[in-house]
Structure 1
């Protein structure tokens, strides 16, 4: 790479902090560093044209876990761990709203709902039986019951008669959120370079040598906010998880409003611009979906279309407008990894599919490791 004197001087000299990843975590880390170190030179490197992962590809759910998902987590985590995780997600959502403002992210507190298919009577009854217990352990955090049983008023098909409602859930516009974060970063004199891949790094003790595909430079500290792409970095503690999504063409007189969960959070849908956005299904084929490659598969797309036709929009015509995928970071634990890898290298990864909720908090915690 042939760089001019000006390029070297302005972009790659005397860098105090370099952040890899310009998603929710990376930009919150950068903004937090700017608050703490007003005169520091901060550089953000992004491998994609836009944040490459899930930050601009997620469904825009301001949520912290459906009832069945929380019950599933209690099978592999202690009660204290689950409550702490929900508290982090809830605090992260408040931090996101405070930093960006509800209007900027198109925050809509329509509440959230969980559906149960007709054939999942056992799962439905189990959730109803445990609902009061879950409400009790969450009451110190929310000061009210989180989950309640409600009749289906949306006309869904092939489901149990009742939905589980969560008044604390909301939806945002993912694109607006990331645009506002980018605006704030630029306003804070944070340098952002896109389509730059960090191929390696070396911690030299008093600085880090950061190697790009055809160029290297020195940085005082190096932060990785690469979530689903952090497998090697964390020695396997983070695994990629692809999420496939589709969205319909506008539907006249669409009466569905809110965020909706199905099957322990593995499926999720919402209204947006008179359309239905629907995603999920990686539980149909975990092995194939443990990938950093973007794309769709027939088994999952067919299932999503089947849910649209028979559950979400029965007896309604609809057309699919667009399909895409995002890469999340998951692992054996739902707890994020915020840690120091060496003297001058740090990471904040493994958001467990809850990046909108927890990303702002993890970015702040990452910056505060300094």
Structure 2
């Protein structure tokens, strides 16, 4: 890196807060710090041209967990932990809407649906049986029942008779959301540098040294918001999880509206611009999808196309327009990690595939660690 005197003076000198990651968490952290410290210098470093990871690559679900996902979480977490997670996700969604506005993120409250394949009879019956119980334990959050049985009106094929409907779920335009967030950060005098990778850092007690390959600088505080890429800073408490996605060409007279979940949330689809966006399939190859490498695989893409042809659009011709992938951050617990790593270094990571829901709140909590 061959920086001039002017570049070093204006971008890399007297920095108070450096945030690594310009996604939902990183930018909300920066905005929260700006609110508390109006005169301090805030620098955000981003390894990609756009926010790398999942913030601009997710499906745009404003959700907090399908019924089968919640039941699955109750098998590995306490009831209290699951309720707290749902509360955080719901609070995070309201904070995102408050910070950016529904118009800026193209918020559409179409509701969410969970469908079950014919062969998923056990999961289907369990969900129907335990639906009243789940409604009861989360009622204090939503002040009314969340989940209800509903007859399929979308003409899906090969599924059980009833869908599970959730009126509190919505969809957003991920690109518009991140565009609005970036614009807001810039208007708040937050510096953002793209295609900049942190190769090492060292907490020296009264400041932190940050290496960018062959260039280094110091900052008073360093905050990591790198989620799926956070394994090295959290001693492998965060595992990367690749999510593969495809989207169709526009489909005339498409009558599917909403966000849809299938197979405990391992598959998900929605309408957008008269297209169907479909993602998931990580459960077909957990080991192969535990990676920070972007890309698509034949086994997962074939399964996504199979679901489109046989279940979602069985009587409709369609063409695939585009495919991509994003990197989430998962772990043995669904609880996010928001904690100090040393005296002047902090992290807010492990969003568990719920970045849209809790990203804004985790950014706020990360900023709150700074005293």
TM-score range, shorter chain: over 0.9
Deviation of 1:121 (Å)? 1.1
Q: What corresponds to 2:38 in structure 1?
A: 38
The number of aligned residues is: 370
1:165 is paired with a residue of what secondary structure? strand
Q: What corresponds to 2:152 in structure 1?
A: 152
Deviation of 1:103 (Å)? 0.2
Q: What corresponds to 1:79 in structure 2?
A: 79
1:109 is paired with a residue of what secondary structure? coil
Deviation of 1:2 (Å)? 2.0
* Correspondence 1:323-338 to 2 at 5 A: 323-338=323-338
- In 1: Cα distance, 2:156 partner to 2:92 partner: 32
- 2:262 equivalent to 1:251: no
* Correspondence 1:96-175 to 2 at 5 A: 96-175=96-175
Gaps of 5+ in 2: none
Q: What corresponds to 1:240 in structure 2?
A: 240
2:25 is paired with a residue of what secondary structure? helix
Deviation of 1:273 (Å)? 0.1
Q: What corresponds to 2:65 in structure 1?
A: 65
Deviation of 1:69 (Å)? 0.2
- In 2: Cα distance, 1:262 partner to 1:85 partner: 21
2:131 is paired with a residue of what secondary structure? helix
- In 1: Cα distance, 2:52 partner to 2:140 partner: 37
1:145 is paired with a residue of what secondary structure? coil
- In 2: Cα distance, 1:302 partner to 1:113 partner: 23
Deviation of 1:83 (Å)? 0.2
- In 2: Cα distance, 1:131 partner to 1:110 partner: 21
Q: What corresponds to 2:274 in structure 1?
A: 274
Deviation of 1:213 (Å)? 1.5
Deviation of 1:355 (Å)? 0.1
Gaps of 5+ in 1: none
User: Per-residue displacement from partner, 1:52-94 (whole Å, max 9, x unpaired)?
Assistant: 1000000000000000000000000000000000000000000
Deviation of 1:168 (Å)? 0.2
2:93 is paired with a residue of what secondary structure? helix
Q: What corresponds to 1:321 in structure 2?
A: 321
1:342 is paired with a residue of what secondary structure? coil
User: Per-residue displacement from partner, 1:282-329 (whole Å, max 9, x unpaired)?
Assistant: 001000000000001111001000000000001110000000000000
Q: What corresponds to 1:18 in structure 2?
A: 18
Q: What corresponds to 2:55 in structure 1?
A: 55
- In 2: Cα distance, 1:75 partner to 1:304 partner: 27
- 2:369 equivalent to 1:364: no
- In 1: Cα distance, 2:306 partner to 2:8 partner: 54
Deviation of 1:232 (Å)? 1.2
1:83 is paired with a residue of what secondary structure? helix
User: Per-residue displacement from partner, 1:243-298 (whole Å, max 9, x unpaired)?
Assistant: 00000000000000000000000000000000000000000100000000000111
- In 1: Cα distance, 2:179 partner to 2:63 partner: 20
User: Per-residue displacement from partner, 1:207-258 (whole Å, max 9, x unpaired)?
Assistant: 0000001210000000000000001111110000000000000000000000
- In 2: Cα distance, 1:63 partner to 1:328 partner: 16
Q: What corresponds to 1:212 in structure 2?
A: 212
- In 2: Cα distance, 1:259 partner to 1:84 partner: 23
- 2:190 equivalent to 1:190: yes
- In 2: Cα distance, 1:202 partner to 1:56 partner: 30
- 2:265 equivalent to 1:265: yes
Deviation of 1:4 (Å)? 1.4
- In 2: Cα distance, 1:212 partner to 1:66 partner: 41
- In 1: Cα distance, 2:236 partner to 2:192 partner: 28
- In 2: Cα distance, 1:3 partner to 1:251 partner: 50
Q: Give the CA RMSD over aligned residues.
A: 0.4
